[in-house]
Amino acid sequence: MSAPDTPLRIMIVDDEEPARMALRALLVEMPDVTLVSECQNGFDAVKALADARPDVVLLDVQMPKLDGFEVLELMGPDIRVIFVTAYDEFALRAFEVHAVDYLLKPVAPERLTLALSRVPERTPPQPTGAMLRASARKPGDFLERVVIRDGVHVHVVAVDKIDYVEAQDDYVGFRTAGKILLKEQTLAEVEGSLDPRRFVRIHRSYILNVERLSRVELYAKDSRIAILGDGSKLPVSRSGYQRLQQLL
């Protein structure tokens, strides 16, 4: 628990007003905590994070548009999460993304106190949300959409709308609808989270949505380029070509 002079900054994210009221009523009774923000949905939460600077987010799982796990993915690594939900079915996943705790509604005061006491005073370095999210996926269970934060905006992109993914230094760029959206992640993480029957690593720096592929042309000896339906050209490495052939 934080020292008395620096109360724990808490944010509540839940789309149901009475549920927010229930948590608020509990927090009011507790010492050394301060409620810095209340949000009705994931979009608002992601927007409010910068100003509110919470230490801990009490996060509902089932919310419209962005669910709790997606909000967690878009948060910085220094914010801890306690999931609060009526459903016990997400507990394992919450544990895998290193949530501090997983509380079932209705939440008993002692249970919330215990959860908050588990928030370490100083946050240890921890993997980014995206990495955690990738590790939380079951084998054979692939991403259906990608959430990307762009300033205060959040893009939710269905994977079939992605043309290709390219590596750009510390970022990956998702090319969709003529734009490139950048996200702090590695290409290997993205590759691991996408369905290998639909996405192929054709090059060290590129993952291609095979539905976008128009043809592959020989460019030089052992060097090929993939030509997409819209005319874009991407390099194809020798091993990338083998992977592509295996799939097709």
Interface with another protein (CB under 8 A): 15-25, 40-41, 43, 62, 64-65, 67, 86-87, 104-107, 144-145, 156, 158
Q: Toward another protein, which CB reaches closer, 34 or 40?
A: 40
Q: Toward another protein, which CB reaches closer, 21 or 50?
A: 21
The token pair that represents 95 in the structure block = 């544990």
Compute, in degrees rounded to 10, the torsion defined by CA atoms 201, 203, 206, 212.
-70
Number of H helices, E strands in the chain: 8, 15
Spatial separation of the C-alpha atoms in residues 115 and 110, rounded to whole Å: 9
Nearest residue to 19 (alpha-carbon basis) of 39, 49, 35: 39
With beta carbons less than 8 A apart as the criterion, state whether 235 and 228 touch. no
Tokens 């801890």 belong to residue: 80
Q: Toward another protein, which CB reaches closer, 76 or 106?
A: 106
Spatial separation of the C-alpha atoms in residues 137 and 192, rounded to whole Å: 10
Q: Toward another protein, which CB reaches closer, 106 or 120?
A: 106
Q: Toward another protein, which CB reaches closer, 141 or 230?
A: 141
